[in-house]
Structure 1
Amino acid sequence: MRERLWLSGYRAWELNVYGDHDPKLKVLKYSLKIQLQQALDEGMQWLITGGELGIEQWGIEVALGLKADYPELQIAMMLPYAEFGHQWQAENQERLAKRRSQVDFARETSTQPYTQPAQLSGYNRFMAQHTDGALFYYDQDFPGKPQYAYKAAQAEANRRDYAVRTVTMPDLEDVGRELAEAENSDFQN
């Protein structure tokens, strides 16, 4: 049973998702809902993620929506250092603050503001060591920022029973087709 699941993946800009009305976002959130429901049905109690703009914040948003049907679900936002996101545009800072206020638990793995890359690698190790498995929206054919978290999770899987599940670009294409067919079927009925 994977009670504590680490969710991470691409940033919004890596997926070319710009704004809340981007059609790709609908597919991503639909996929997140499917993946999180499956994890909940398999015994997940805690969703543990970061605050990056993209999969992490969308995952929190989707998980908050699932709490009505899964009241036992707890959500944690772990940030890699103090003042995380302070350099973002005001709107994105507000979004981060809102998500942080909505989760059940929020902390930083380093109490210092960002000073060195070791804080980020320490964060990835912390996340892998304090979870029971990982779900990454990551495709090795399209490396990006999630590759470092993915490598930390793979290293953890080499040390212990730690499942690392990925949602790849072809998986998202399949979900997009499934969603389009479902919406088309609903439209015709």
Structure 2
Amino acid sequence: MKTLAVTGYRPWELGIFSEKHPGIRIIQHVLYNRMRAFAEEGTEWFVTSGQPGVEWWAAEAVHKLKAEFPDVKLSVLMPFLEQEARWPEAMKEKYFEMLARADHVAAITRRPYESPAQLRLKNDFIVQKTDGLLIVYDEDLPGSPVYFLRAAERRAAGDDYPVFYINRYDLEDAEREWFETRGGGDLET
């Protein structure tokens, strides 16, 4: 699998309203480990749409992976131009930092937001351009990732398009392991 799409929840869908929330560290830890395994198997490109939350944390994982896998790359395929237009300044700053570190950046529709059709097109486009999907998603907690998942399921119905899940049980196991291996230590270490 040469290209892997990565998506999941926005931070507010997980009750995360601060960059210091301890749950971010756990999600990043799980993402990094899963993405590292894909890199070991030959995945070269990780693709996101640049949405805050899981996609930003995945971009950070790619940056860390480059130390061990220099050929690993990040592509950010935003659904439309100026997707950050209504975000607070702090989010915009973090977004532009992520874009600056990406290996490839493009807008799928080369115009600002016009309609939800651009978001559907983004999901379909990324699914068509990748070999599989890694998604942080739990069926008991529906949210925005379901639209990406539906696009992946449509492709998988007629093609070999694997979907790899990170669910709440994976995150709970990682949290338990984190505290056991670090003796209940701080999540920031």
TM-score, normalising length from structure 1?
A: 0.95
**Residue type at the aligned position of 1:17:** I
Q: Could you tell me whether the CA contact under 8 Å between 2:132 and 2:163 is conserved in 1?
A: yes
What value does the CA root-mean-square deviation take over the aligned residues? Answer: 1.4
Structure 2 unmatched runs, 5+: none
**Residue type at the aligned position of 1:51:** G
1:79 aligns with 2:78: yes
The superposition leaves residues 95-136 of structure 1 with CA deviations (integer Å, 9 ceiling, x where unpaired) of 111100110000010011111111111110001000000000
Q: Could you tell me whether the CA contact under 8 Å between 1:50 and 1:57 is conserved in 2?
A: no
Q: Could you tell me whether the CA contact under 8 Å between 1:9 and 1:146 is conserved in 2?
A: yes
| 1:186 to partner: Cα distance | 8.4
Aligned residue in 1 for 2:154: 155
Aligned residue in 2 for 1:7: 6
Aligned residue in 2 for 1:131: 130
Secondary structure, aligned partner of 1:88: coil
Change (3 A) 1:146 1:186: closer
The superposition leaves residues 9-51 of structure 1 with CA deviations (integer Å, 9 ceiling, x where unpaired) of 0001111122222111111111011111111112100000121
1:54 aligns with 2:53: yes
Q: Could you tell me whether the CA contact under 8 Å between 2:79 and 2:122 is conserved in 1?
A: yes
Q: Could you tell me whether the CA contact under 8 Å between 1:8 and 1:135 is conserved in 2?
A: yes
Question: Residues of 1 paired with 2:90 and 2:19: CA distance?
Answer: 12
Aligned residue in 2 for 1:167: 166
- Aligned pairs, number: 186
Q: Could you tell me whether the CA contact under 8 Å between 2:179 and 2:185 is conserved in 1?
A: no
Q: Could you tell me whether the CA contact under 8 Å between 2:135 and 2:166 is conserved in 1?
A: yes
| 1:185 to partner: Cα distance | 8.2
Secondary structure, aligned partner of 1:165: strand
Aligned residue in 1 for 2:97: 98
TM-score, normalising length from structure 2?
A: 0.95
Aligned residue in 2 for 1:27: 26
Question: Residues of 1 paired with 2:103 and 2:38: CA distance?
Answer: 18
Question: Residues of 2 paired with 1:27 and 1:166: CA distance?
Answer: 15
Structure 1 unmatched runs, 5+: none
Question: Residues of 2 paired with 1:50 and 1:19: CA distance?
Answer: 21
Question: Residues of 1 paired with 2:30 and 2:58: CA distance?
Answer: 10
**Residue type at the aligned position of 1:180:** F
Deviating more after overlay: 150-159 vs 122-131: 150-159
Determine what percentage of the aligned residue pairs are the same residue. Answer: 32
